[in-house]
Amino acid sequence: MQDLKSFVLRIGLGASALLVAGCGAQQLTQAFAPPAASITSDAKGGAYVYTCQSGSSHVDCLVYQGSKPVRTLTKGLKKPLGVAAGKDGLFYIADQSAKDIFVYSAGGAKLVATLSDGSNAPVDVAVYNDEVAASNKNTLTFFAKGASKPTLTLKDKTAVQGSGAAFDSAGNCYWSFSTRSGASVDEFKGCKGKPINLKIAPGTPYGTAFDGNENLYYTSYNGSGKGIYACFGVKSCALAFTTLTFIDPQYLNFSSNFADVWIDDTGDYQCYCTGLYEIDVKTGKEVGKILSGLSFFNPPSGVAAGPGPL
């Protein structure tokens, strides 16, 4: 119980952030705000940050170093959505229409592998020690290390549309998806067997990721419940970073040291907040953002900083 109290307190501290992200951002002064964590911001340092676009005007994936665009990928892309980065620096793209996972070297310099998802249409991808999980419309596919085709296909009969894929640091697979009555998150122990429904609430889980202490974070885009949520393990979930205003958060991924988390926000036509946001997990403070090359009419889909944590 004491651990749970400490975790809730940590979320509360994160909620006292100084900077509001997204539309209508403004500086707040709070006497009891905690000191900023000692981290190097990906948006201000030399790390790569990745996202993709599948809007009506063009289809591509963008590579940033710091906050500056350094490469645009277009060849072979049809509808790229979720992205991930491995701890070895490799960059992964889930392409729904191509029905493939494209794997690039660090910085998107070279296509090094193509994982065929068979008849599945991947919308998100996660990586753990060179193992890969892809969220599809009706399944979660798992690729063992070195596999170019799914090793296992994992299912839940209640799934209507898959959304997020994630690994914890023990190598278990997680799948978020919509149902006829809302949204759910399943755990697959060892990325095999039957699903364990985690009954995650509140909000509508969409993008998912685990921090370095096995706590689940997820985005929710639905109505009054929209925002970023953090759980104690996979239970007792609560809205995190409560002073941060998100319009339409979708995917999220942690940086290599788990000190900060990236969120892509598609925004809306009333604001100039469509972009990628980097949040210090300890304080909830926005420590970086990328808006260049992104707009509501061609919003970002997926976000990852490379190298990744797993």
pLDDT in tens, 174-217: 999 999 999 999 999 999 999 999 999 999 999 999 999 999 99
CATH top-level class for 2-23+37-298? Answer: mainly beta
- 3-state SS, residue 269: coil
CA atoms of 229 and 222, how far apart (whole Å): 13
Is the full-model pTM beyond 0.85?
yes
CA distance readout (Å), 41 to 250, 255, 290, 294: 21, 9, 12, 20
Best CA proximity match to 171, nearest among 116, 134, 214: 214
In terms of DSSP H, where are the helices of the chain? 2-14
CA distance readout (Å), 253 to 118, 272, 307: 26, 22, 11
Q: Of 40 and 187, which is predicted with more confidence?
A: 187
CA atoms of 242 and 224, how far apart (whole Å): 12
Domain ranges for the chain: 2-23+37-298
- pLDDT over 90 (residue 31): no
CA atoms of 271 and 250, how far apart (whole Å): 17
pLDDT in tens, 84-138: 999 999 999 999 999 999 999 999 999 999 999 989 999 999 999 999 999 999 9
Could you tell me the pLDDT band of residue 16, with boundaries at 50, 70 and 90?
Answer: very low
CA atoms of 39 and 258, how far apart (whole Å): 10
CA atoms of 44 and 33, how far apart (whole Å): 23
